[in-house]
């Protein structure tokens, strides 16, 4: 499958897009500004997204999934992000960072225990990787886990963990140092920690610049004990396993960012047609119309990029470079379009009840999360065989 316009995709993809678009416009958009203002993740909407099958889109039916793929998942993310990035990232993280590691690396018992509720949207899960000095640099990981009497004893802290403190969060998986390799480097493994585990504390939520209606917390582990069987995947492969799913996450974030870029175009076209200045709609002024034309070009390029990466993924081909390109192009398109849309809206663009104002605050993190812009440039350069790409 090549990167073709969504309008030319098979019926099931186009039908999904229309269904999610209607849901976003009719259910999410009317309450998005208020939820942003009150920093509220609307679990009622999350439940409805679960009932639609959105959390199960790229998973097989045997575990309660919809039997779809990352292309369908990206389409859903694009349409939701167009109106509300907070709910879009809740879905993206719930699938890519919460359920996907268990699906990819879990035992059959772990899958049977956790996946049914995660794929139905009845539960959420987080992934604890980032620490104050560790993220992309796995060697700086300080959280530890040691075996004692058939249990892992976990000590350490994580930060910026999405979906980690909601009323329906069922677990977080955390990377921890579980020993040392023969060469002296750290052995890092991934361990499932159920919510409510003694010694596992979800600290107060962050006061963020954007994504205010999503759930993000620092986590603390002080002698937290979980069964030895809560090891996720092979011991010592925790960080490597996470990296293997990261490219998929970059495609998903690119789709989300594309939705933002498109949403900014749609809002700017509408506003430019309605707003008058000196007796004319501002859409008639070349400065405005050319700005929106450039915004549309960015949104189109972003969509082509993520569709190309998703098509290669679905076809089983190596898509890692395309994923980095898509994430880079789409994140920058979202940020640039949000800035231009805010300028077009003038004073109204500075008011939080306007969607473009929220996009302006929300979009910066798209250039940071799931690998910064600089990381994507490094990976692309490496794929071209360029020296100094580190």
CA dist 127 and 372 (Å) reads: 18
Contact 213, 31 (CB under 8 A): no
Which listed residue (78, 131, 248, 370) is catalytic? 370
The answer to whether the CB of 327 falls within 8 A of the CB of 246 is no
The residue among 367, 198, 341 whose CA lies nearest residue 282 is 341
61 is catalytic: no
**Would you state the structure tokens that stand for residue 287, as one six-digit string?**
């400065």
What number of other Cβ atoms are within 10 A of residue 172's Cβ?
29
Per the rule left: phi > 0, alpha: psi between -120 and 50, beta: everything else, 322 is alpha
Facing residues of 179 across strands?
187
Percentage helix, strand, coil for the chain under 3-state DSSP, each rounded to 5: 55, 15, 25
DSSP, collapsed to helix, strand or coil, labels residue 233 as: coil
**Would the CA dihedral through 345, 351, 352, 358 be positive or negative?**
positive
Q: How far, in Å, CA of 147 to CA of 153, rounded?
A: 6
How do 186-194 and 231-232 pair as beta strands? antiparallel
What CA–CA distances, in Å, run from 272 to 288, 341, 389? 8, 10, 43
Q: Chain centroid to CA 199: how far? A: 28
Q: Which residues are the active-site residues?
A: 370
């Amino acid at each position: 499958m090549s990167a073709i316009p969504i309008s030319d995709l098979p019926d099931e993809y186009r039908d999904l897009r229309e269904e999610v678009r209607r849901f976003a416009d009719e259910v999410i958009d009317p309450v998005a500004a208020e939820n942003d203002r009150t920093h509220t993740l609307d679990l009622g909407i999350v439940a409805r997204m679960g009932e639609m099958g959105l959390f199960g889109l790229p998973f097989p039916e045997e575990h309660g999934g919809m039997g779809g793929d990352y292309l369908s998942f990206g389409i859903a993310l694009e349409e939701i992000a167009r109106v509300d990035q907070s709910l879009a990232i809740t879905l993206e993280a719930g699938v890519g960072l919460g359920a996907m590691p268990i699906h990819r690396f879990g035992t059959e018992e772990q899958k049977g225990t956790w996946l049914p509720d995660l794929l139905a949207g009845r539960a959420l899960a987080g992934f604890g990787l980032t620490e104050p000095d560790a993220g992309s640099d796995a060697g700086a990981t300080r959280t530890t886990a040691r075996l004692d009497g058939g249990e892992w004893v976990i000590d350490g802290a994580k930060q910026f963990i999405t979906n980690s403190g909601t009323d329906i969060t069922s677990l977080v998986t955390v990377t921890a140092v579980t020993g040392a390799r023969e060469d002296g480097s750290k052995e890092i493994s991934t361990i499932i920690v159920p919510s409510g585990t003694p010694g596992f504390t979800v600290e107060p939520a962050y006061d963020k610049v954007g994504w205010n209606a999503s759930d993000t917390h620092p986590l603390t582990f002080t002698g937290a004990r979980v069964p030895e069987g809560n090891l996720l995947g092979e011991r010592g492969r925790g960080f490597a396993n996470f990296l293997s799913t990261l490219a998929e996450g970059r495609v998903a974030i690119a789709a989300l960012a594309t939705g933002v870029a498109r949403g900014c175009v749609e809002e700017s076209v509408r506003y430019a047609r309605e707003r008058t200045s000196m007796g004319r709609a501002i859409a008639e002024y070349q400065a405005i119309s050319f700005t929106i034309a450039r915004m549309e070009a960015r949104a189109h390029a972003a969509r082509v990029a993520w569709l190309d990466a998703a098509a290669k993924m679905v076809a089983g081909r190596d898509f890692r470079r395309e994923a980095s390109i898509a994430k880079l192009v789409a994140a920058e398109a979202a940020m640039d379009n949000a800035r231009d849309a805010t300028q077009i809206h003038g004073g109204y663009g500075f008011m939080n009840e306007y969607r473009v104002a929220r996009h302006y605050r929300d979009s910066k993190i798209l250039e940071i999360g799931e690998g910064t812009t600089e990381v994507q440039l490094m990976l692309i350069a490496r794929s071209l065989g360029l020296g100094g790409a580190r």
